[in-house]
Chain A
Amino acid sequence: MKNIMKQKQSLIVMGILALVLLGVYFLPLTVFAKHILVLTLFYAFMGTGWNLMCGYAGRLSLGHAAFVAVGAYTSLLLFSHFGLTPWIGMIAGGLVAVVVMLLIAYPSFRFGLIGPYFTLASIAVAEIVHYLLIYGRDLTGGSLGMSLPYVKGTTVINSIINLQFDSKEPYYLVILVFWLAAIFITWKMERTRYYLEAIREDEDAAAALGISVNKNLIIAACISAFMVAVGGTFYVQYFRYIDPYSIAGFTLSLNMALVAVIGGSGTLFGPTIGAFLLIPLTEVLRMSLGAQIPGLHLFLYGILLVVCIIFLPKGIASLPGIIRAKRAQKSTEDGPENQASKGVL
């Protein structure tokens, strides 16, 4: 009963958040503010995708950029060679990412790779994709990267089909829909989430209870890979340029993990909270400090991360729980004293 209540609550929160974010669309903001909003929602979406596999199942992947890169390059290559609309391209890219994920996830889970071993394997996978993209320079342009061929949208429908717009607003709407879909899928998987949580806490016990451990993990991993690959296509369409370093590099992998971990991994809104805290902060720091002293903004960002992890090891989403626990502790401490004073009276 309580779970149903809680699930309904998340649905209401989701609805309110979506409406607020839709309302933001109509605000007269500067281009920079709009860019930050698009980027924040992008990372909220990516973090939610990452979270589905890594947060709920307790496997820290620092190689998810591999799937972003696969999605981005697939849709971009299909678009620039065959003129295929990125909408189909992103599904194709997602499917390729799922295949890549299966190649890695199956042996990883089959051989019981956990803890730091899984993290190292995931980093290796992203590095392999990175080097292969550089190696295949005839197709991918190597380290120089690839640009998205610009197509002037003559009509609205034309722009939508090509997923290329001249202003930021349409991108905002697109990524808002993506984010909402990701949250909805995660919410739908809440039932499976309990399986995933059981697996995370004790794999053997979960298996003993009849939960098909590997099947659940692999399904979560594939959906996760598909989502971030779709995010890769969005990245190409929005930035119009990709290179192996930025899209298959360690920084992107780390950022996806960070928004989720700082926000609270394994929670529905954790990655979104994390993205709304970290991304605007980095962008504002970059704008105000990046030009004068290069590196200062990332230096401060790194310090913030370390401090966050030390003081909130379970993420910001755990903050209400901690405060509640403190309060409960306080009231139990107060309790006997109050009673004692009453006794005196």
Chain B
Amino acid sequence: MDMILQIIISGLLLGGIYALVSVGLNLIFGVIKIVNLAHGDFLMMAMYATFFLFTVKGIDPYVATLIVFPAFILVGVVIFRLIIKPLLGKAETEVNTIIATAGLGFVLQNLALMLWKSDFRAIETSLTGKSYEFAGIMLSAGRTWAFVVCIAVALILYYVLMRTKVGSHIRAVSQDTEAATLMGINVNRIYTLTFAFGIALVGLAGVILTPTFYVYPTVGLYFNTMAFIIVVLGGLGSFTGALIGGLIIGLIESFAGVMASAELAQVFSLLIFLVILFVRPQGIMGKSARV
């Protein structure tokens, strides 16, 4: 019994991390309707940033959030202006944004390889290797805090989207670009804002992940697939969906990892993903009709 409870709790904590990684992707995918294949690579960049802030400057990862988050907003704006915007509203936008972001991913991965080599790096903070014991169940300290941050981010995002003016603009643009333009919303500004915050959120996820995961140039690839599965599973543009999707995948991995093997756990997640794509492409929580 304890064993099963432990698996469930570990799965939920892992799911929280996955959800945090996916939120930014969900925002960009849901509003601008583009697939950002470089998503995981931005995560990797944020992890390196955190790593060096800690090792060189001695800045604690949780404090590093205050530096990385604004920096990644800036990165997001620049990338949007340089690469995404020229492709929007032209022939083959869907295909070309996918290819362009894949190229961007190449650039980022190899930039990391050039600058920092392919070594696996890890930092040791006050949380590393620590765990809390709660009614006989072990909770990894780093992951518990990541989970807390994830819930906090989800709540803040929910508030911003549902209760503020900018949030209502973002929702309007995601529902109908033309109608939003007619209502006097500057769609271009909303796109830039959404992309920048999407990138900043994955930056935040990178910071939070660094104390519990290794950093290496292709770490993004692993999280990329996972993030896409979760986004589709939960439903495009649905943040509750991203959270639920993350928790489901976390649980699946946790259970399958104990019962079978790590590879089968992945295969199982992917199969569920395919089935959801076929029968319910709007995801578990999504409301929008088939695109």
By a beta-carbon cutoff of 8 Å, the part of chain A in contact with chain B is 58, 60, 62, 107-108, 111-117, 119-121, 123-125, 127-128, 131-132, 134-135, 250, 254, 257-258, 261, 265, 293-296, 298-299, 301-306, 309-310, 313-314
Residues of B within 8 A of A119 (CB): 35, 98
The A-B contact count (CB < 8 A) is 134
B94 contacts A115, CB within 8 Å?
yes
B103 contacts A313, CB within 8 Å?
no
A302 contacts B103, CB within 8 Å?
yes
Residues of A within 8 A of B105 (CB): 302
Rounded to whole Å, the gap between the CB of B86 and the closest CB of chain A is 5
B110 contacts A306, CB within 8 Å?
no
Residues of A within 8 A of B134 (CB): none
Which residues B152-194 have CB closer than 8 A to chain A? none
| Chain B CB within 10 Å, residue with most, of A116, A254, A298, A314 | A116
Contact flags B208-246 to A (C-beta < 8 A → 1, else 0): 000000000100010001001100100000000000000
The answer, among A117, A128, A309, for a CB contact under 8 Å with B96, is: A309
Closest-by-CB residue of B relative to A266 is B92
The answer, among A117, A127, A301, for a CB contact under 8 Å with B277, is: A117
The answer, among A58, A265, A299, for a CB contact under 8 Å with B114, is: A299
**CB pairs A–B below 8 angstroms (10 shown):** A117-B277, A117-B291, A121-B274, A123-B225, A124-B229, A257-B99, A296-B110, A298-B109, A305-B99, A305-B103
Rounded to whole Å, the gap between the CB of B8 and the closest CB of chain A is 24
Q: Is the interface of A mostly helix, strand, loop or mixed?
A: helix
4 closest A-B pairs by beta carbon, nearest first, are A302-B106, A295-B113, A305-B103, A302-B107
Complex Cα spacing A133 to B34, Å? 31
Residues of B within 8 A of A293 (CB): 114
Known: A111-B277, A124-B229, A295-B114. 4 other contacts (CB 8 A): A111-B278, A295-B112, A296-B110, A296-B114
A132 contacts B229, CB within 8 Å?
no
B106 contacts A313, CB within 8 Å?
no
Residues of B within 8 A of A305 (CB): 99-100, 102-103, 106
Contact flags B106-129 to A (C-beta < 8 A → 1, else 0): 110111111001100000000000
B264 close to A (CB within 8 Å): yes
Residues of A within 8 A of B232 (CB): 117, 120
B66 close to A (CB within 8 Å): no
B87 contacts A309, CB within 8 Å?
yes
Complex Cα spacing A115 to B277, Å? 12
B270 close to A (CB within 8 Å): yes
B277 contacts A113, CB within 8 Å?
yes
Complex Cα spacing A330 to B112, Å? 46
A127 and B266 in contact, given A111-B279, A120-B228, A120-B232 (Cβ under 8 angstroms): yes
A116 contacts B98, CB within 8 Å?
yes
Rounded to whole Å, the gap between the CB of A273 and the closest CB of chain B is 16
Complex Cα spacing A123 to B229, Å? 10
The answer, among B34, B98, B103, B111, for a CB contact under 8 Å with A295, is: B111
Residues of B within 8 A of A62 (CB): 98, 102
Contact flags B72-108 to A (C-beta < 8 A → 1, else 0): 0000000000010011001110111011101111110
